[in-house]
């Protein structure tokens, strides 16, 4: 007879069903009887699920804890939701059709909290390390401590922690766990401190950057204002110069117009005066005294006009303008006294 040791997992798969456990096929057939017709593939899935559930319940009846295969089964069910709407019968003959994961756990005889704890351990440790933890005989509480300690560490640190655990004697194991947890707590505290310091440094850097940006913005705005004022000054100065020149030009043009107008008025008045004087002189009815008065009065008027023109600073050569040019005498010399001769008729 071979001395072969049967593991709980092997017992879960190969051991005969517990005596109280109903036959899955018969129970499912009873559930289906009198109901609507079911597709063959659905029936096959229900039967397979019933068999799986029966193995899990059977293992529960003979084992003190959950095997890795059972934990993996719950993990797969939670991820896929394959259990929803599937029928199975428990050891007492009760039929279940779980719709939620919590209902599945309860129908299988476990609490949701207990299964979630096992799933967290499985997700954190993996199959190999979870087996090592079980071989070390760690309690649920100690397992939870180790899980929290290695949750956020790198793979090398995890390996080092498990080397320390496996190298410890049963008497030293509790102390090793406490040391690991203390180191983890200190590392977490140091990390939190570093994170706070990093956050403060980040805030300081952001504040400096904002201050730098604000200063750059103020400087840019100041430069923009200076540039705008310079442009306004140039435009204003150019406009002022242009306005002054335009005003000067307009004023000069206007003054010339006025001079032209007054000169025309003056020439017209003189022409009118000369015409009237000429008509008086041509009138035989006027006496010699009247004729002499015409000459004297117009001569006096011309002298008055000349005096006003000269006193106004107007550069006019009255001799050249008023003394007629009779031409040279027979010897080529001008008439004597031509420079100071008065105009007479």
Total residue length of the chain: 345
What phi-psi label fits residue 180: left (phi over 0), alpha (psi between -120 and 50 degrees) or beta?
Answer: alpha
157 CB-contact burial (10 Å; exposed 0-12 / middle 13-18 / buried 19+): middle
97 CB-contact burial (10 Å; exposed 0-12 / middle 13-18 / buried 19+): middle
Q: Inter-axis angle of helices 170-282 and 288-311, to 10 degrees?
A: 160
Asked whether 54 and 24 are in contact (CB, 8 A), the reply is yes
In the block, which residue shows the tokens 């403060």? Answer: 200
Check residue 327 and give its pLDDT: 57
E strand or H helix at 262, and its extent? helix 170-282
Check residue 4 and give its pLDDT: 41
Its pTM stands at: 0.40
Asked whether 72 and 122 are in contact (CB, 8 A), the reply is yes
Check residue 296 and give its pLDDT: 92
What's the rounded Cα separation, in Å, for the pair 254 and 318?
26
Tokens standing for 80?
A: 């896929």
E strand or H helix at 216, and its extent? helix 170-282
What's the rounded Cα separation, in Å, for the pair 156 and 279?
139
What's the rounded Cα separation, in Å, for the pair 179 and 155?
19
C-alpha neighbours within 13 Å on the C-beta side of residue 322: 16
What's the rounded Cα separation, in Å, for the pair 57 and 226?
87
165 CB-contact burial (10 Å; exposed 0-12 / middle 13-18 / buried 19+): buried
Asked whether 112 and 139 are in contact (CB, 8 A), the reply is no
- CA dihedral for 327, 329, 331, 337, sign (positive or negative): negative
Q: Residue 95: count other Cβ atoms within 10 Å of its Cβ.
A: 13
User: Quick one: which of 172, 177, 168, 110 has its CA closest to 146?
Assistant: 177
Which residues of the chain are modeled with pLDDT < 50?
1-20, 31, 34-38, 61-64, 330, 335, 337-338, 341-345
What's the rounded Cα separation, in Å, for the pair 165 and 143?
12
What's the rounded Cα separation, in Å, for the pair 51 and 29?
14
Q: φ and ψ at 93, to 5 degrees?
A: 90, 5
Asked whether 115 and 77 are in contact (CB, 8 A), the reply is no
Check residue 163 and give its pLDDT: 86
What's the rounded Cα separation, in Å, for the pair 216 and 291?
96
Asked whether 119 and 75 are in contact (CB, 8 A), the reply is yes
Check residue 331 and give its pLDDT: 53
Check residue 62 and give its pLDDT: 40
Between CA 19 and CA 26, with CA 25 as vertex, the angle to 5 degrees is: 75
């Amino acid at each position: 007879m071979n001395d072969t040791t049967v593991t709980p997992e092997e017992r879960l798969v190969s051991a005969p069903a517990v005596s109280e456990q109903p036959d899955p096929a018969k129970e499912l057939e009873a559930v289906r009887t009198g109901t609507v017709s079911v597709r063959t593939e659905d029936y096959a899935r229900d039967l397979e699920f019933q068999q799986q559930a029966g193995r899990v319940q059977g293992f529960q009846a003979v084992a003190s804890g959950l095997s890795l295969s059972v934990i993996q089964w719950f993990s797969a069910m939670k991820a896929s939701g394959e259990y929803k709407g599937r029928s199975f019968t428990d050891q007492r003959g009760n039929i279940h059709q779980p719709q939620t994961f919590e209902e599945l756990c309860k129908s299988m005889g476990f609490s949701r909290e207990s299964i979630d704890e096992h799933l967290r351990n499985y997700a954190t440790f993996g199959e190999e390390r979870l087996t090592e933890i079980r071989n070390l005989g760690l309690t649920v509480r100690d397992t939870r401590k180790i899980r929290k300690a290695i949750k956020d560490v790198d793979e090398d640190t995890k390996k080092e922690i498990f080397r320390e655990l496996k190298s410890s004697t049963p008497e030293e194991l509790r102390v090793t766990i406490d040391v690991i947890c203390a180191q983890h707590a200190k590392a977490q505290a140091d990390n939190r401190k570093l994170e706070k310091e990093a956050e403060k440094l980040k805030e300081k850097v952001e504040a400096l950057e904002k201050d730098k940006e604000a200063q750059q913005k103020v400087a840019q705005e100041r430069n923009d204002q200076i540039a705008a004022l310079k442009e306004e000054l140039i435009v204003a100065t150019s406009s002022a110069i242009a306005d002054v020149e335009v005003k000067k030009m307009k004023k000069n043009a206007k003054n010339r117009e006025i001079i032209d107008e007054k000169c025309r008025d003056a020439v017209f008045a003189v022409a009118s005066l000369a015409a009237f004087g000429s008509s008086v002189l041509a009138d035989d009815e006027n006496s010699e005294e009247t004729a002499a008065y015409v000459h004297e009065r117009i001569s006096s008027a011309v002298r008055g006009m000349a005096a006003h023109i000269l006193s106004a600073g107007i550069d006019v050569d009255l001799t050249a303008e008023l003394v007629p040019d009779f031409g040279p005498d027979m010897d080529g010399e001008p008439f004597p006294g031509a420079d100071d001769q008065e105009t007479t008729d």
